[in-house]
Structure 1
Amino acid sequence: MSPANTPASPCASVPGRFADVFKQVPFMQLLGVTREVSANGYARLSMPVRPELTNLFDAAHGGVLATLLDSAMASAAMSSVNFEAGVVTLNLNTSFLASGRGRLVIEGWHTGGGRSICYCEGTVRGENQEVLARAMASFKFKQLAPPQEMAQG
């Protein structure tokens, strides 16, 4: 699915036992990332760029952009199997195209794969809709512990 075919359903309505797993990732909370949509192999996140997340040029740090792309594509991959499995990143290839400030919108979408491996692509856009970075990644599906076990340990 490409961004042009984005689903209208918000992440709150996503089926599956692990639809809320995103909320259990402390790093996403630390960054201030909001998952706006995650369904049918597509995900959209957003995040305001805060001063502590910038580089020497007062723009979003490249490591932050790579993290956001990885997270959006992972969410898209998990939504492609209705959140019945988690994923681990096998490969992340990122191209940085421009500097970003303000509110970032990150999209990821499933492009292919099979039962154990999933391929995704993603973009980060800045305040003026310009593409700041693009990425392609491969993920391995992995079974998750039930949500209550994840919260405990």
Structure 2
Amino acid sequence: MTPRDLGAAREKLIALFNSAPIIQSFGMKLSYDEAGRALVRLPFNPNFDHAFHQIHGGVMATMLDTAGWFTAAPHFDNWIATVEFQTRLLEPVEKVDLVAAGRIVRLGKRIAVCEMEVRTAAEKLIALGAGTFTATSVPAKW
């Protein structure tokens, strides 16, 4: 890891995020707050509901992993990969917009440990996550 312009890396990562087919399918949006946390927003889409018309837990897990990955990625010169990932679904929700946020707990030369959360647009906490991300040998494109 070398000293880097995190703002420039984040701008490139937003472009990378926007180019991903899964992101386009989900309709997610990525931004960063002042603390450098990745914020992943998902407008309500009934296509992501399960049979009881609540938002499927897999959607929230995807948001958690994405928020952690994009929080950690700007800090590395190489592509990173999710090594380990944990999801805690706290409460079912329906017909609401969601926001996931990542936070770095520990940043090393090759490993980042992050905590993530998903809240409704009204700030209700509905899911927690934790993940470990490692730098690979593949140079980053950001």
TM-score range, shorter chain: 0.7 to 0.9
SS of the counterpart of 2:123?
coil
Q: Is the 8 A contact 1:88 1:140 kept in 2?
A: yes
What's the counterpart of residue 54 of structure 1? 49
Give 1:86 shift. Answer: 2.7
Count of residue pairs the alignment pairs up: 133
CA distance 1:127–1:47, change in 2 (3 Å): same
User: Within 1, Cα distance between the matches of 2:33 and 2:51?
Assistant: 33
TM-score, normalisation: structure 2 = 0.82
User: Within 2, Cα distance between the matches of 1:130 and 1:146?
Assistant: 35
Where does 1:46-125 land on structure 2 (aligned, <5 Å)?
46-79=41-74, 81=75, 84-101=77-94, 102-125=96-119
Do structure 1's residue 29 and structure 2's residue 24 form an aligned pair? yes
User: Within 2, Cα distance between the matches of 1:115 and 1:125?
Assistant: 30
Superposed CA offset, 1:25-52 (max 9, x none) = 2111110000022676411110012111
Q: Is the 8 A contact 2:89 2:127 kept in 1?
A: yes
Q: Is the 8 A contact 1:41 1:110 kept in 2?
A: no
Task: Find the partner of 1:126 among 110, 120, 123.
Answer: 120
SS of the counterpart of 1:14?
helix
**What root-mean-square deviation, in Å, do the aligned CA atoms of Structure 1 and Structure 2 show?**
2.2
Q: Is the 8 A contact 1:41 1:77 kept in 2?
A: no
Is there any run of 5+ residues in structure 2 with no aligned partner, and where?
A: 1-5
What's the counterpart of residue 15 of structure 1? 8
TM-score, normalisation: structure 1 = 0.77
After TM superposition, what 4+ stretches of structure 1 lie above 2 angstroms from structure 2?
Answer: 16-20, 38-41, 83-86, 142-147
Identity %: 26
Deviates more, 1:108-117 or 1:63-72: 108-117
User: Within 1, Cα distance between the matches of 2:123 and 2:33?
Assistant: 20
What's the counterpart of residue 5 of structure 1? none
Q: Is the 8 A contact 1:121 1:135 kept in 2?
A: yes
CA distance 1:146–1:129, change in 2 (3 Å): closer
Is there any run of 5+ residues in structure 1 with no aligned partner, and where?
A: 1-12, 148-153
